[in-house]
Amino acid sequence: MAKQKEEKTNVMRILEQKGIPFTPHTYPHEEGVAVDGASVARSLGQDPECVFKTLVARGASKAIYVFDIPVEDTLDLKKAAKAVGEKSIAMLHQKELLPLTGYVHGGCSPVGMKKQYPTVFHETAEIIDTIMVSAGKIGYQVQLTPADLIALVGGTTADVTVE
């Protein structure tokens, strides 16, 4: 198990390269099997409000957008579309995720995608001390300050979840 702790993902390498302090975390998982975010938060002993999932959507204009929201919340497509100035948005089909982002379902991170897409974090990211997101691989998470993460990806914040 100690060897697994030493493994670095591209997300971790990017954070180190940019001099952004972070804490890596690992959680038990079956290879290739996505785990729901609430289970990840529980297994890491973290508040689900501070563990964010990364969702990728396509706007009516065909542009790609990234939304990071607390793992137990649901993305409100109307609010999300308004936040990015689109008429409407739809979730990306799972088969499109890897070719567009370089990440698999359950291991998608806002950091280190093949291309930096416009990224919106739920507004609660502004009031929490630390945020945890996928480290780009199932079984790995990184914890850092929301301000560092938002600045790194050039993100914005908005209310984008279902009430």
Q: What is the pTM of this model?
A: 0.93
The pLDDT-based confidence of 34 (bands split at 50, 70, 90) is low
Report the percent of the chain where pLDDT is more than 70.
Answer: 94
Element (DSSP H or E) covering residue 52: strand 52-59
Cα–Cα distances (Å) from 58 to 22, 94, 109, 135, 142, in that order, read 30, 12, 17, 23, 26
- For residue 155, the model assigns a pLDDT of 98
Contact in structure between 75 and 160 (CB atoms under 8 Å): yes
Report the percent of the chain where pLDDT is more than 90.
Answer: 85
Half-sphere exposure of 134 (CA within 13 A, CB side): 25
The token pair at 107 is 């291991």
- pLDDT tens track for 86-111: 999 999 999 999 999 999 988 999 99
- pLDDT tens track for 118-147: 999 999 999 999 999 999 999 999 999 999
Sequence-separated (6 or more) residues with CB below 8 Å from residue 58? 64, 65, 89, 90, 92
